[in-house]
């Protein structure tokens, strides 16, 4: 069970979020009986009122106006790991809480599209940029897929995958798949 602490200025919003948590088989409502939020809960589910978002005390999912890029950016800069629309349904809220609890980042698809040029700029800053196919292979390496599964997923031969992996290692200046994954995540070449 994931213990969820709710923070909302509006009583109506709070009641709605509590209802979502109570109706879930994988979530439970955390009551702030412990000394700190970190002791009381695993994830904070909050209604972010505006662009001023305080750094959260624990992994957080914030409900925001996703059409306002400034609010989404402010939430992510403050350390919020999940940003979803105020219009999100119960299933989407539950999935976001589970993803954030698992260490993933959740954000609106339209915001991801805004980030892609920045990811491409990082890729182009390499001594020799990765090709689009190499970026696809790298993303599948991050998922932990074997060469055989990558070949199947991309409908290419296993030999071609090995060639791409060798090229990726050389271009990133690393010696192993693990180093390539770590390097790719740190440099922002792939999104988790």
Give the CATH number for residue 169: 1.10.10.10
Domain final residue, candidates 56, 85, 106: 106
Cβ of 96: how many Cβ atoms within 10 Å? Answer: 23
Query: Looking at the structure, do residues 127 and 172 belong to the same domain, yes or no?
Result: yes
Residue 187 neighbours by CB distance under 10 Å: 14
117 and 167 in a single domain? The answer is yes
Q: Domains in the chain: how many in total?
A: 2
Domain boundary at 41, 74, 106, which? 106
Query: CB within 8 A of 95, min separation 6: which ones?
Result: none
pLDDT tens by residue, the chain, 192 residues: 999 999 888 889 999 999 999 999 999 998 755 556 667 789 999 988 665 667 788 899 999 877 777 777 778 778 888 889 888 999 999 999 999 998 888 887 767 656 555 555 555 556 578 888 998 999 899 888 999 999 999 999 999 999 999 999 988 888 999 888 888 877 777 766
pTM of the shown model: 0.59
Q: Residue 128's domain spans which residues?
A: 112-187
Interaxial angle between packed helices 158-172 and 177-187, expressed in degrees from 0 to 180 and rounded to the nearest 10: 60
């Amino acid at each position: 069970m994931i213990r969820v602490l709710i923070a909302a200025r509006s009583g109506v919003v709070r009641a709605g979020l509590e209802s979502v948590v109570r109706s879930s088989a994988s979530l439970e409502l955390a009551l702030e009986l412990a000394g700190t939020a970190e002791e009381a809960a695993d994830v904070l589910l909050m209604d972010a009122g505006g662009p001023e978002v305080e750094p959260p005390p624990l992994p957080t999912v914030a409900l925001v106006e996703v059409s306002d890029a400034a609010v989404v950016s402010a939430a992510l800069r403050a350390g919020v790991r999940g940003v979803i629309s105020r219009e999100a349904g119960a299933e989407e809220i539950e999935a976001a809480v589970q993803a954030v609890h698992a260490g993933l980042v959740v954000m609106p698809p339209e915001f991801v599209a805004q980030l892609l040029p920045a990811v491409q700029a990082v890729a182009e800053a390499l001594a020799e940029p990765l090709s689009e196919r190499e970026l696809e292979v790298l993303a599948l390496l991050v998922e932990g897929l074997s060469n055989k599964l990558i070949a199947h997923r991309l409908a290419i031969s296993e030999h071609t995958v090995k060639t791409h992996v060798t090229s990726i290692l050389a271009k990133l200046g690393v010696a192993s798949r693990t180093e390539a994954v770590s390097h790719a995540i740190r440099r922002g070449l792939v999104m988790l």
